[in-house]
């Protein structure tokens, strides 16, 4: 039901909300149980470290299926695949909530990731299809907003549900919304649904095997690397080798295959390549800051999971208000410049707010996160248009699948790298601060005399203070690194061709 005029009707808005709900629920489920792992581990009688497979299984399954979306859509059709993916996601969510052991939960989460992977790129494709060509930027801005808000609000909603009811309702919560979204899309796209017939496309089984081997190994490598101490673990070394070899062979195989499951030739498009590489890097840098701040607030500052989530959720406010406004101008202003503006804003905010201390207030943390959200609103909207703006409409679903895979991969890289980076920075600052604890320092005696107890007890207390201070300085270092990484993308983005307007999904 593509629109032929330039007006955004109530019908378009209604469909957009339904599609955005689907993509939001998918992103929400990636993080909603993060704060509930302790409760789940207690119910299942397992160690908390084992419960991380509940997160890993979902991300691995989704990462494997995302690049396959274009190939799957050729067989099932865009509308039909979105509707059934959303219905199956609701069923998988029910199974997650009914889980009675870690193995049953992991199996349900794998199913949730497999069927839910289609929801994000297909909602993106359908939004581009229903909006008038000149207004597609607004639709994509609304869609982008839900992608960013999902991971931000996940811990807040998950914490509130777990505290108020049970962790099982973190999954049941999605069921009625999924069914509502699929029902609305079916009603609005009845004709398209009926016209989409199953078309058998010759399966590239070798390509699928290499994809599962390569991306599956890569995701487990990133998710479990920190827990297994990276390359000191033979398992991690084997995963790294398997992933590298599988992905290299996959790229060569798909390039020459007559019916590839992944259209690697899309990377011949300069804007697409620059856009998705920029998305990968910016997602990793942003996610480092998005993960480390709640972690620091809970483990160093003593915040509860819910309060830390609420404190950092202000990141979403500028995105909520600015994304539709920015989207309105994407067909008038070069999207490269919009993205660069976002890079610079995010970098400047990172540099000037990397001054947290143990005396920081929750209000100040909320304020600094809101400032960071301004930069996000600019570059996430623009990167979508830079990446997909010059893609042929026939290839848009395949390109959207790769685009969203790169975003997911960036998130995984960011969440896996922040702990070793933080630990290294903490160790350095702890060593520097501890070197000042000696009798030659005029501040040492007043400090140690202010602490009650024996000498040994005094030193334990002082070491605790140094550890907290070093951890806080480490957080500031991670913010600075993230800002530098994103700032480095400015000249890279200028290598792309001029990009005015949004992706060519309309008709």
CA distances from residue 308 to 48, 66, 369 in whole angstroms, order as listed: 20, 31, 12
In a domain, 273, yes or no: no
pLDDT surpassing 60 at residue 219 = yes
Domain shared by 228 and 193, yes or no: no
DSSP three-state, residue 311: helix
Indicate the average pLDDT of the chain: 86
In a domain, 269, yes or no: no
In tens, the pLDDT along 455-505 reads: 777 778 888 888 899 999 999 999 999 999 999 999 999 999 888 765 554
Looking at residue 501, its pLDDT comes to 64
Domain shared by 28 and 129, yes or no: yes
pLDDT surpassing 80 at residue 446 = no
Domain shared by 495 and 424, yes or no: yes
Domain shared by 128 and 217, yes or no: no
What string of DSSP letters covers 438-463?
STTSTTHHHHHHTS-S-HHHHHHHHH
Domain shared by 191 and 213, yes or no: no
Spatial neighbors of 17 by CB under 8 A, at least 6 apart, are: none
Question: What angle in degrees, to the nearest 10, is found between the helix axes of 119-130 and 10-31?
Answer: 160
Distance in angstroms (rounded) separating the CA atoms of residues 222 and 230: 9
Distance in angstroms (rounded) separating the CA atoms of residues 277 and 208: 23
**Above pLDDT 70, what percent of the chain?**
97
In tens, the pLDDT along 225-282 reads: 877 778 888 999 999 999 999 999 999 999 988 888 888 899 999 999 999 999 999 9
pLDDT surpassing 70 at residue 21 = yes
9-23, 41-55, 271-285, 322-336: range with highest mean pLDDT? 271-285
Quick one: which of 18, 11, 3 has its CA closest to 131?
A: 3
Domain shared by 84 and 224, yes or no: no
In tens, the pLDDT along 178-198 reads: 999 999 999 989 888 888 887
What string of DSSP letters covers 206-254?
HHHHHHHHHHHHHHHHHHHTTTTTGGGSHHHHHHHHHHHHHHHHHHHHH
CA distances from residue 451 to 3, 268, 419 in whole angstroms, order as listed: 72, 65, 31
In tens, the pLDDT along 146-166 reads: 877 887 788 788 878 887 888
In a domain, 266, yes or no: no
In tens, the pLDDT along 291-313 reads: 888 888 888 888 877 788 888 88
Tell me which of 201, 224, 246 is where a domain ends: 201
Mean per-residue pLDDT, 218-223? 85
Per-residue tokens: 193: 């649904």
In a domain, 85, yes or no: yes
Spatial neighbors of 401 by CB under 8 A, at least 6 apart, are: 66, 67, 68, 69, 70, 121
Distance in angstroms (rounded) separating the CA atoms of residues 87 and 195: 20
Looking at residue 404, its pLDDT comes to 86
Tell me which of 169, 201, 233 is where a domain ends: 201
Q: Comparing 106-110, 389-393, 447-451, which segment has the lowest mean pLDDT?
A: 447-451
Quick one: which of 478, 476, 447 has its CA closest to 357?
A: 476
Mapping DSSP onto H, E and C, the string for 382-396 reads HHHHHHHCCCCHHHH
CA distances from residue 306 to 28, 75, 303, 317, 334 in whole angstroms, order as listed: 15, 43, 8, 18, 40
Residue appearing with tokens 């400090």: 447
Tell me the pTM: 0.84
Quick one: which of 135, 405, 441, 449 has its CA closest to 261?
A: 405
**Above pLDDT 90, what percent of the chain?**
33
Domain shared by 298 and 213, yes or no: no
Spatial neighbors of 408 by CB under 8 A, at least 6 apart, are: 59, 62, 63, 66
In a domain, 272, yes or no: no
In tens, the pLDDT along 385-412 reads: 899 888 888 888 888 889 888 988 888 8
pLDDT surpassing 80 at residue 288 = yes
In a domain, 75, yes or no: yes
Distance of CA 62 to the CA centre of its chain: 12
In a domain, 225, yes or no: yes
Domain shared by 256 and 302, yes or no: no
The answer to whether the CB of 211 falls within 8 A of the CB of 67 is yes
Q: Give me the CATH number covering residue 21.
A: 1.20.1250.20
- The domain total for the chain is 3
Looking at residue 474, its pLDDT comes to 92
Domain shared by 90 and 235, yes or no: no
Domain shared by 176 and 241, yes or no: no
In tens, the pLDDT along 408-441 reads: 888 888 877 777 888 889 889 988 888 887 777 7
Domain shared by 106 and 181, yes or no: yes
Looking at residue 486, its pLDDT comes to 94
Looking at residue 423, its pLDDT comes to 84
Spatial neighbors of 286 by CB under 8 A, at least 6 apart, are: 346, 376, 414, 482, 486
Domain shared by 466 and 500, yes or no: yes
In a domain, 14, yes or no: yes
Distance in angstroms (rounded) separating the CA atoms of residues 336 and 498: 7
Distance in angstroms (rounded) separating the CA atoms of residues 421 and 247: 26
Task: For residue 35, name the pLDDT band (cuts at 50, 70, 90).
Answer: confident
Distance in angstroms (rounded) separating the CA atoms of residues 403 and 418: 23
Tell me which of 186, 201, 216 is where a domain ends: 201
Backbone CA torsion sign across 497, 499, 503, 507: negative
132 backbone dihedrals φ, ψ, rounded to 5°: -55, 150
Range of the domain at 105: 1-201
């Amino acid at each position: 039901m593509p629109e032929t005029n330039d007006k955004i009707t109530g019908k378009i808005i209604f469909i957009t909300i339904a599609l955005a709900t689907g993509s939001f629920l998918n992103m929400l489920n990636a993080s909603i149980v993060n704060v509930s792992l302790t409760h789940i581990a207690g119910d299942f009688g397992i160690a908390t470290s084992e419960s991380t497979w509940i997160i890993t299984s979902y991300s691995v399954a989704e990462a494997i299926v995302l690049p396959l979306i274009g190939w799957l859509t050729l067989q099932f059709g865009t509308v039909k695949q979105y509707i059934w993916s959303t219905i199956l996601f609701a069923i998988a969510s029910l199974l997650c909530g009914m889980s009675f052991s870690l193995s049953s939960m992991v199996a349900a989460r794998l199913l949730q990731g497999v069927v839910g992977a289609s929801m994000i790129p297909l909602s993106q494709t359908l939004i581009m299809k229903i909006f008038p060509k000149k207004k597609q930027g607004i639709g994509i801005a609304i869609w982008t907003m839900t992608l960013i808000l999902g991971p931000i609000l996940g811990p807040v909603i998950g914490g509130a549900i777990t505290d108020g009811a049970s962790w099982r309702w973190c999954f049941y919560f999605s069921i009625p919304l999924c069914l509502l979204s699929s029902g609305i899309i079916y009603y609005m796209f009845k004709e398209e649904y009926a016209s989409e017939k199953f078309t058998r496309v010759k399966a590239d089984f070798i390509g699928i095997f290499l994809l599962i081997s390569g991306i599956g190994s890569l995701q487990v490598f990133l998710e479990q690397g920190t827990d297994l101490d990276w390359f000191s673990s033979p398992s991690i070394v084997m995963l790294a080798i398997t992933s590298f070899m599988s992905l290299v062979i996959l790229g060569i195989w798909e390039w020459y295959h007559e019916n590839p499951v992944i259209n690697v030739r899309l990377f011949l498009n300069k804007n697409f390549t620059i856009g998705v590489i920029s998305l990968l890097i910016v997602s990793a840098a942003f996610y480092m800051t998005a993960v480390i701040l709640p972690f620091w607030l809970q483990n160093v500052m003593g915040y509860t999971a819910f309060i830390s989530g609420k404190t950092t959720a202000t990141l979403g406010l500028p995105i909520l208000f600015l994304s539709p406004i920015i989207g309105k101008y994407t067909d008038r202003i070069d999207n490269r410049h919009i993205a660069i503006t976002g890079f610079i804003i995010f970098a400047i905010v990172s540099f000037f707010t990397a001054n947290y201390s143990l005396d920081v207030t929750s209000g100040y943390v909320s304020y600094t996160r809101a400032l960071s959200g301004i930069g996000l609103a600019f570059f996430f909207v623009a990167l979508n248009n830079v990446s997909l703006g010059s893609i042929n409409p026939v290839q848009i679903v395949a390109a959207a699948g790769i685009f969203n895979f790169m975003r997911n991969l960036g998130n995984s890289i960011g969440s896996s790298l922040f702990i070793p980076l933080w630990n290294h920075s903490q160790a350095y600052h702890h060593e520097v601060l501890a070197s000042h604890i000696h009798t030659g320092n005029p501040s040492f005696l007043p400090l140690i005399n202010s602490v009650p107890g024996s000498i040994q007890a005094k030193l334990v207390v002082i070491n605790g203070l140094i550890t907290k201070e070093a951890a806080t300085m480490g957080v500031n270092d991670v913010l600075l690194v993230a800002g530098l990484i994103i700032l480095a993308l400015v000249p890279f983005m200028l290598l792309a061709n001029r990009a005015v307007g949004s992706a060519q999904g309309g008709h």
